Amino acid sequence: MALSHSPKIVTDSLVFMYDTDDGKSFKGEPTTNLITSGGIDFSQRSGYTNLQTSQVVDSRSPSGYACEMEVLDGANINNAARSKFGQGTNMPSSGNAFVSIFAKFEGGTYANITPKIYNGSGTAWQSLSALDGGSAYLTSEYRRFGYYGAITANPGFSMTKGNSNKQTGQKTRWHSPQVELKSHATQFVNGTRSDTQGLIDRTSTSTINISNASFDSNAQMTFDGTDDYLAVPHDSSQSFTGDFSIEAVIKGESNTANCIIQKGSGNDYYQEYWLLQDMRSSQGKFSLIMGKSGNSSANYLNTSNVLSQNIYYHVVATVSGSTSKIFINGVEAESGSISNRIQSTSDLRIGWRVDGFAATNGEIPIVKLYNKALTAAEVLQNYNAQKGRFS
């Protein structure tokens, strides 16, 4: 198969892949956007004249449209004109929510415009913060702004200056409003993003359930070292009778045993394959473990103790005939012989072994499976294609 997002990686014989930096793979943390597609009111607020608020075509918006606000000659806005977005939607009746939008300065004479949310009487106007950590003012490029707090049943946005600072011809635009019952913004979604829609297998072979994963304040996927994992239902293409390869990027963040990926029903002896980063005690190694027929022993391949905490490592384990190898950051680190391998119909698990051992504390942003043994050149090719992302 061919993956359009990264022509530099090896895709021949790829049977499973996710990558949290690939927008076609990582769609975002599961959430519900409480604003429906019909929940935006483009009419002008009563009493505030000559502020034109309308829906315009904009290819930069996921929906293809944006809300545009233009200050016309003689406008009376008094810093209170707004376009509303809560009409007919299920705004929370109590507690806090996170509201976010993408906004920009579109035309006219530039002014220091801070996007605000009108949140009803009592809380009134609240300034939105730039989620990229940059300028609090609108710029010529779309950027995301957000606010965490109480949201009333009839809120709206302001993208103008008040009467004392207004300038005829000023235009601002915003799109993709989102209100969600979280303390941070997640990737925009129109409706609900379910537990099986947030992370996509790029080979279209499997469904990945991320309901047991954690997410940080930037809505990036993490593993908490206690009980986090990804669940992938069994597929025969990921159970290997012949050669295969496992590839991953992992950052372990504590002195723990970190399960990268495993397919099996119990301890080491029942694992078709299990790739481990072991950071316990003075250890710092990768291990490839494969149970043997009879389930009374296993094949073990361990690297030397060369790993450190809080460092991203690219690791590849290959099996070719009776030989297994582990590569670290594109370089072969260990090889050994194997025999009497077993197969399993158990589901894949990423981040925590099925018997409750080796809950990963850290990040696993990339996992791939190939139904062939990658060559040393192909391992290096994949490492070079991805190493610039991690530091």
Domain boundaries, the chain: 14-30+194-389, 32-180
pLDDT value at residue 225? 97
Average pLDDT, the chain: 87
Q: Average pLDDT of 109-136?
A: 78
CATH class assigned to 14-30+194-389:
mainly beta
Name residue, tokens 């293809």. Answer: 64
Residues 47-83: tens digit of each pLDDT = 555 566 777 888 988 888 888 777 666 555 554 445 5
Distance CA 294, CA 270 (A): 9
Distance CA 333, CA 138 (A): 50
pLDDT value at residue 50? 55
Residues 365-391: tens digit of each pLDDT = 999 999 999 999 999 999 999 999 987
Q: Average pLDDT of 104-132?
A: 77
Distance CA 180, CA 148 (A): 10
Q: Are 355 and 262 in contact (CB under 8 A)?
A: no
Distance CA 304, CA 283 (A): 9
| Beta-strand pair 214-215/83-84 | unpaired
Q: Average pLDDT of 341-363?
A: 97
What distances in angstroms separate CA 343 from CA 14, 211, 262, 294, 320, one per listed residue? Answer: 19, 27, 12, 12, 16
Is 2 a residue whose pLDDT tops 50? Answer: no
pLDDT value at residue 92? 73
Which residues, including other chains, have CB under 8 Å from residue 113's CB and lie 6 or more apart? 105, 137, 138, 159, 160, 161, 170, 172
- In 3D space, the residue among 159, 183, 130 whose CA is nearest the CA of residue 52 turns out to be 159
Percent of the chain with pLDDT strictly greater than 70: 82
User: Which stretches of 234-292 are DSSP H helices?
Assistant: none
Q: Are 316 and 324 in contact (CB under 8 A)?
A: no
Q: Average pLDDT of 269-287?
A: 94
- DSSP for 88-107 reads TS---SSSEEEEEEEEEEEE
Name residue, tokens 């490029």. Answer: 141
Q: Average pLDDT of 100-110?
A: 83
**SS3 call for 268:** helix
Q: Are 238 and 263 in contact (CB under 8 A)?
A: yes
**Strand-pair partners of 250:** 313
pLDDT value at residue 370? 98
What distances in angstroms separate CA 175 from CA 62, 109, 144, 389, one per listed residue? Answer: 8, 21, 10, 29
CB neighbourhood size of 218 (10 A): 11
| Residues 95-112 as b or e (16 or more Cβ within 10 Å = b) | eebbbbbbbbbbeeeebe
Q: Average pLDDT of 106-114?
A: 75
The two three-digit tokens of residue 289, written as one number: 């473990």
**SS3 call for 32:** strand
Residues 9-32: tens digit of each pLDDT = 999 999 999 999 999 999 999 999
pLDDT value at residue 45? 52
- In 3D space, the residue among 16, 25, 19, 18 whose CA is nearest the CA of residue 238 turns out to be 16
Lowest average pLDDT, out of 154-163, 171-180, 182-191, 244-253, goes to 154-163
Q: Are 201 and 18 in contact (CB under 8 A)?
A: yes
Confidence of residue 337 (pLDDT cuts 50, 70, 90): very high
Residues 293-326: tens digit of each pLDDT = 999 999 999 999 899 999 999 999 999 999 999 9
Q: Looking at the whole model, is its pTM more than 0.85?
A: yes
Is 211 a residue whose pLDDT tops 70? Answer: yes
CB-based burial of residue 43 (10 Å sphere; 0-12 exposed, 13-18 middle, 19+ buried)?
A: exposed
CA dihedral 363, 366, 370, 372 (to 10 degrees): -80
pLDDT value at residue 167? 65
Is 123 a residue whose pLDDT tops 90? Answer: no
Q: How many whole angstroms from its chain centre is CA 341?
A: 35
pLDDT value at residue 165? 57
pLDDT value at residue 65? 82
Percent of the chain with pLDDT strictly greater than 90: 63
Distance CA 7, CA 189 (A): 28
What fold does the segment set 32-180 form as a domain? Jelly Rolls (2.60.120)
Q: Average pLDDT of 96-119?
A: 82
User: Which stretches of 122-247 are DSSP H helices?
Assistant: none
pLDDT value at residue 174? 85
